Amino acid sequence: MPAAGEETYMLKLFYTLLIIIAPPVVTAHEYAQKNITVDHPWSKPTPPLSQYGVAYFSVSNSGEKDDLLLEIKIPYEIAKSASIHDVIHDGDMMRMREATNGKKIPAGSTIKFQPGGSHIMLEGLPKPLKLDDKFTIELVFANAGNVPVEIWVEDGPQQSDKHHNH
Ligand SMILES: [Cu+2]
């Protein structure tokens, strides 16, 4: 039998959880699970016949243990596959390299996937991504598990995308 104090505590916890589960309005485009927070996942419109798209977001790890972004799951109607790419600078050249062992998200840090840097490559698009499209992908973390996030297709910062000409 739990003591009366414990019951009161459980009740408080219960109401607190209710408030957390039912927020009035969610304005931040942000997803959290365990120690991982994914902020503002977005993508860019693609030209008509392009096979490739990109996705960006930032990932914060508030935990005390490193986590690893292992892979990205994407619905087949959006792209055949999605992979994690790093950009490496080789003299004046920028090359992309698939992070085949995943992308480390060190404890207490934020990793930004952004134009000109690490990004998610969407491969084999059956149809172009259009401005204001929204779709959900799943980020698979070693510790935090599968985190579904909604990607918003936007006009992002106008930066060179030359390295995306596969
Ligand atoms: Cu790429």
**What tens-digit pLDDT sequence spans the chain (166 residues)?**
555 666 676 667 666 666 555 555 545 799 999 999 999 999 999 999 999 999 999 999 999 999 999 999 999 999 999 999 999 988 989 899 999 999 999 999 999 999 999 999 999 999 999 999 999 999 999 999 999 999 999 987 543 444 444 4
Q: Quick one: pLDDT at residue 161?
A: 44
Alpha carbon of 18 to ligand 1 centroid (Å) = 41
Q: Can you give the pTM of this predicted structure?
A: 0.77
Ligand 1 midpoint to CA 164 (Å): 6
Backbone angles phi, psi at 81, to 5 degrees: -155, 170
Q: Domain 30-156, what fold?
A: Immunoglobulin-like (2.60.40)
Q: Could you tell me which residues come within 8 angstroms of residue 81 by beta carbon, excluding any fewer than 6 positions away?
A: 74, 122, 123, 124
Q: Determine contact, residues 129/43, Cβ cutoff 8 Å.
A: yes
Looking at residue 43, its pLDDT comes to: 97
Tokens of 145: 């598990």
Q: How far is the CA of 113 from the centre of ligand 1 (A)?
A: 11
Q: Which amino acid makes up residue 110?
A: T
Q: What is the CA radius of gyration of the chain?
A: 19
Tokens of 124: 């084999």
Query: Could you tell me the distance, in angstroms and rounded to a whole number, from the CA of residue 92 to the centre of ligand 1?
Result: 17
What are the phi and psi torsion angles at 104 (to 5°)? -70, 135
Output the CA 120–ligand 1 centroid distance in Å.
7
